[in-house]
């Protein structure tokens, strides 16, 4: 099993690179952002709660996300491996992921940390906002997403360094160039 955590600030290209990794390595994809947007669109109980957090650029509470992830993971039984996109975003989420995978005789194989400067992140998200219509791609929400990233999510790099699974990747350049850098790291683990 090849289980990849793709990590980085909002707009660092997690979703973009996940699509390429899935095609190349035949992995399943779990994007907590995509699952939340689907729940919000359908107006489920979870979607209604999540909406308030996502609209303000805040993280949805850990208990809700961990519960949601466990259900999605159980729907991927028998897969060659999973790419976790946008999860974990906090230390409790990382600990819960490890526990969930260990209980299923698995673990995270590697973590890819995409590094992109703040100005570039803001530009990308504002550009995406023009087409995507995403409620959280506006300047005020982007700023609060970046603040939360620095305070709650970035410390997770240390967690994966200690686990010996952290790989830093320069996330600036063409999408193909970045993908080549990621492939090199994944190939070490095949």
Residues known to be catalytic: 14, 89, 128, 134, 145
CB 159 within 8 A of CB 98: no
- Nearest residue to 3 via CA among 34, 38, 29: 29
User: Around Cβ 86, how many Cβ atoms within 10 Å?
Assistant: 22
Report the residue number, 65 or 182, with the smaller CB distance to ligand B4P. 65
Provide the minimum distance between the beta carbon of 65 and ligand B4P in the complex, in angstroms, as a whole number.
4
Report the residue number, 89 or 165, with the smaller CB distance to ligand B4P. 89
Provide the minimum distance between the beta carbon of 177 and ligand B4P in the complex, in angstroms, as a whole number.
8
Given the rule CB under 6 A, which residues bind ligand B4P? Answer: 8, 10-16, 32-33, 36, 53-54, 57, 59-60, 65, 86-87, 89, 93, 124, 128, 136, 145, 175, 178
3-state secondary structure of 5: strand
Q: What is the CA radius of gyration of the chain?
A: 16
What's the token pair of residue 5? Answer: 């955590």
What's the token pair of residue 39? Answer: 């729940």
Report the residue number, 163 or 181, with the smaller CB distance to ligand B4P. 181
Report the residue number, 87 or 160, with the smaller CB distance to ligand B4P. 87
- Give the residue closest to ligand B4P by C-beta: 33
CB 188 within 8 A of CB 4: no
Query: In angstroms, how far is the first alpha carbon of the chain from the final one?
Result: 9
Provide the minimum distance between the beta carbon of 57 and ligand B4P in the complex, in angstroms, as a whole number.
6
Provide the minimum distance between the beta carbon of 79 and ligand B4P in the complex, in angstroms, as a whole number.
20
Sheet containing 166-170: order of strands? 28-31, 82-85, 4-8, 110-115, 166-170
């Amino acid at each position: 099993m090849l289980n990849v955590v793709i990590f980085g600030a909002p707009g660092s290209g997690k979703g973009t690179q996940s699509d390429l990794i899935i095609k190349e390595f035949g992995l399943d994809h779990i994007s907590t952002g995509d699952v939340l947007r689907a729940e919000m669109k359908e107006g489920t109980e979870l979607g209604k709660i999540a909406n308030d957090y996502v609209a303000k650029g805040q993280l949805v509470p850990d208990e809700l996300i961990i519960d949601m992830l466990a259900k999605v993971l159980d729907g991927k039984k028998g897969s060659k491996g999973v790419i976790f996109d946008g999860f974990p975003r906090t230390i409790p989420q990382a600990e819960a992921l490890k526990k969930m995978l260990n209980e299923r005789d698995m673990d995270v194989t590697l973590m890819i940390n995409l590094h992109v400067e703040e100005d570039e992140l803001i530009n990308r998200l504002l550009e995406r906002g023009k087409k995507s219509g995403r409620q959280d791609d506006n300047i005020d929400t982007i700023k609060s997403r970046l603040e939360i990233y620095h305070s709650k999510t970035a410390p997770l790099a240390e967690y994966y360094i200690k686990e010996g699974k952290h790989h830093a990747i320069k996330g600036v350049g063409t999408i193909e160039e970045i993908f080549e850098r990621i492939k090199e790291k994944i190939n070490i683990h095949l």
